Structure 1
Amino acid sequence: VPPPPMRTFVKHVPPRCLFSFVVGVSARCCGLLGFCSQLAARRSPFVEWQPECVQHGPARRSTGEAACRSFQAQRRWSVAPAAAAVPGDFAAQLVAGARRHMLGSRRAAPHVACRSLTAQDPMSLDAFLERYRGTIRAIRSACAEELKGFDDAYVLRFAIEHNGDTLAAVKNVKEVVAWRRGEGKAIVRAAAQAFAKATVGGGWDNAPVLAAAPHSAVISKYLTPSQMVVVSLSNGDLCTCIRASAIDDRALMDAVSVEQLVEFFLYAGEVNSLVAEQRTLARGRLVRLLQANDFSGASRFPDSRFTKAATDTSKMAVTLYPGLSGPTILLNLPSIVRWIVELLKPLFPGAVQQKLRFARKPMARLDDLSDVLREPTRSAFIGDLEAALDD
């Protein structure tokens, strides 16, 4: 339900600059897409909420933060088939995507992984838990103290992010937990408390989420639904949609510091991860965070301060929120730019190449991005996004 301006923004997260928002493209990708920091990559907290998630009990990694309700301690995953809601061709595409992205880029693994994926839903949580059972057990053994209170669905993200490499996953876990208990403690606590308030009564109230966001009183003047929105796809994935040309990044950076904007974006990423994890447990499928970057009307490079904030956030997000990012759709790129990107694409890491999509249709007909919050525009828009992902 679209809320008033300030509340609506909370469902629509942080901004991006020209090219600057390639969400699955990590900070390792520099050059032309380098300044496209994916800060939305660990996206905004501000998402469209689906009550069904709450009905199953907010399942959040329990780090002791008082904000989240408890899920049942001993979890047995009973997954209701989601295939009925996913067109056959789209499901097939997700299978391919799961092989390439979620299961890693190693050549020998895909056919093994594919056997464990259910026919009903290629992103089945049960299937991934089964596939990575040994890795999850090894990670827990090496990080018993750090992972106390965290469920297997949370640990699974580390296993997927590092393609089953236990040593790399263990190192990542220790980095994440150290940040959450130290430098990021205030952000984690604020996000958890806001999340708990937002889900009271089984719905979603954006007001407490935006109110608790660091420096939101200033930042929310520049980042509104006209610049950025987060929508839910039919399979539950979250997609952050950004119109770069609508962001007055220079005015924004005159009003806040790089550090303040980074704090805001990390808070947004924390809330967004809470939503994604709760949906994952409620639906029995791995929910991913996607991004659609619209470059229509973009005529200049972004402010260097904004680029730095986005880049810094992206680097941290890659470490702090593993296993969450999905494909990134680049919309309405100028022909010459798209040609350059296509030319350079083979130079990107394999995982980056697999996440990039190009399209023109979804946002081309929108005068104002906030129109996607209302029907019938919303359904048509989401249909276009899903078609772009299917191509």
Structure 2
Amino acid sequence: MILHELISFDLLRVIWWLLLGVLLIGFALTDGFDMGVGALLPFVAKTDAERRVVINTVGPVWEGNQVWFILGGGAIFAAWPPLYAVSFSGFYLAMFVVLAALILRPVGFKYRSKRDGAAWRNGWDWALFVGGAVPALIFGVAVGNVLQGVPFRLTEDLFPVYEGAFYAKFLGLLNPFALLAGLVSFGMLLMHGAAWLTVKAEGVIVDRARAIGTWMGLLAMAGFALAGVWLAFGIDGYALVGDAVANGHSNPLHSEVEKGVSWLTAYEKRPWIAIAPALGFLGMAMAIRGLRTGGEVSTLLWSKLGIFGIISTVGLTMFPFILPSSIDPKSSLTVWDASSSHLTLFVMLVVTVIFMPIILLYTAWVYKVLWGKVTEDEVTSNSDSVY
């Protein structure tokens, strides 16, 4: 038997679907609080010393956290090439806006303290705000559009074609449901950033973070509930017609897809997936409670659970779809027909099994070394504090 045949093709596809979810959730759990802190910066810190405290809570770790974003993109490219080609083409302008905003973050961190002028530093503070708030919003907008389906079709040779003018591709993303999903993401990550600040900062910064984080958590919870109702009664879902060929070649045009069913029928077929939204609501509710009652580490952990539940809800609700087509349902990409080859997925899995534990252990060690609160005295008197 050939080595890669030890694990069946259909199982490898599911494993890589799960691993992609792990990478995206890992990005939200780690770099999510970095973006949240950046978006909160102008509002929770008023003086230069306070803003330096806030920046130093994430300054030493944000680069490592962003690795999850790079790994997610790499996993999409290697494990799901059609998904990479179609999504990155269709969301090109949105991706450009996100990347432009993310570029402001390292520049802001590195250049903010190069000069003492108030205008100079205030400008970079608002750049850090944009670098946190814009991605937090647009990532949610992208998810909202995926749930509705993206206006693409595949030609006979699997070349993706998008309908509409180039500029309309971006404007079309800003539809009401997608904006609601964006607000859920925005509120969720700002609440996560507030929870991080309760662990790493102290004094008036934490008081402001708790107040704003509470409102952001309520926004995320309300938006999540409204999105669920909207999905049930106002958004067309997708379903495979007949049995899926889980071990077949990766050609989406071989599948028959029906549009117009409710996404929530997934909960009739797989009732156990209801645990995901339940965890989302539970985590958010307990994080809000922690923000109001003075919790620190527990609040951060509850916030992470809420994010895990919300993102898992999207993936489990859509399974096996990963990118539906709104204009040609037959072109929709699913777990069963949009992956790389059997051998490619196996080799990638072997590499992941070897290196993922190393990355996790190193990350845990970094957080252990950098654990503890950041104080105003520390950032103003320590010459090693560069932020």
- Give the shorter-chain TM-score range: under 0.3
> TM-score normalized by structure 1?
0.27
> Highest Rg: 1 or 2?
2
> TM-score normalized by structure 2?
0.28
The structure in which a higher percent of residues are helix is: 2
Structure number with the bigger relative contact order (C-alpha 8 A, sep ≥ 6) is 1
